[in-house]
């Protein structure tokens, strides 16, 4: 009986965990202020690339369709442009612009 409960608990945990995915921005959709991927609220990293160079332009993190976590932007030459954080739809007060080396207001 204990084995059965353990197996059921582990199965439930495995299938209830959200998958964290990396997805190109062009495959994401916005509806009612939330981000969706394949019809489900998106959890993972959104990535956009520069068209000509295939270099990363930015990456942002989402959980249950809401923007939250680290945001990084790059110049087309690959150097980091800026880095900041969101706390689920609320911008923090600053981000760091690596080119100037100073703190500035939000992205």
27-30 contact pairs (CB < 8 A, 24+): none
Q: Can you tell me the distance from the alpha carbon of 60 to that of 68, in angstroms, rounded to the nearest whole number?
A: 8
Low-confidence ranges of the chain (pLDDT < 70): 1-2, 4, 6-20, 88-107
Query: Domain boundaries in the chain?
Result: 20-104
Name the DSSP class of 20: P
Coil/strand/helix, residue 19 = coil
Taking the whole predicted model, whether its pTM rises above 0.75 is answered as no
**In this predicted structure, what is the pLDDT of residue 93?**
43
**Closest to 47 in 3D by CA, of 71, 83, 30:** 71
**In this predicted structure, what is the pLDDT of residue 49?**
92
Per-residue model confidence as pLDDT tens digits over 15-32: 445 566 888 888 999 998
Q: Can you tell me the distance from the alpha carbon of 107 to that of 61, in angstroms, rounded to the nearest whole number?
A: 14
């Amino acid at each position: 009986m204990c084995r059965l409960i353990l197996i059921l608990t582990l199965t439930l945990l495995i299938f209830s965990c959200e998958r964290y995915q990396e997805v190109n921005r062009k495959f994401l959709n916005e509806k009612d202020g939330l981000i969706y991927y394949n019809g489900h609220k998106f959890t993972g990293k959104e990535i956009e690339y520069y068209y000509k160079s295939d270099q990363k332009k930015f990456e942002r993190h989402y959980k249950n369709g809401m923007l939250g976590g680290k945001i990084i932007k790059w110049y087309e030459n690959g150097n980091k442009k800026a880095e900041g954080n969101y706390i689920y739809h609320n911008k923090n007060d600053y981000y760091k612009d690596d080119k100037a080396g100073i703190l500035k207001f939000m992205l």
